[in-house]
Amino acid sequence: MSVSEQLKILCVKLNISVSELARLSGKSPQAFSQKMKRESFTVDELKQIAQASGCEYVGAFVMPSGERVEY
């Protein structure tokens, strides 16, 4: 699942528009939309979006042993 799809699902679950999520995270709706089209969000931006929406973003690689490499 792409990041843009995840963000759209997040908006549905939070009952807000993508434009509102953009504003919450300090971006203009136009710039946010372009980042969604290009799939160009950085990990720091995703963490900022999560914090602004009252969520937590956890990105990690999970090795076959179960060990997690998080950033």
Token representation of residue 33: 């939309």
Place 57 in a pLDDT band, splitting at 50, 70 and 90.
Answer: very high
Query: Any idea what DSSP says for residue 19?
Result: H
pLDDT of residue 71: 67
The answer to whether the beta carbons of residues 33 and 25 sit under 8 Å apart is no
Q: Domain 3-70 is in which class?
A: mainly alpha
Percent of residues, the chain, with pLDDT higher than 90: 86
Backbone angles phi, psi at 23, to 5 degrees: -65, -40
| Residues facing 68 on adjacent strands | 62
The answer to whether the beta carbons of residues 44 and 57 sit under 8 Å apart is no
Place 50 in a pLDDT band, splitting at 50, 70 and 90.
Answer: very high
Question: Domain limits of the chain?
Answer: 3-70
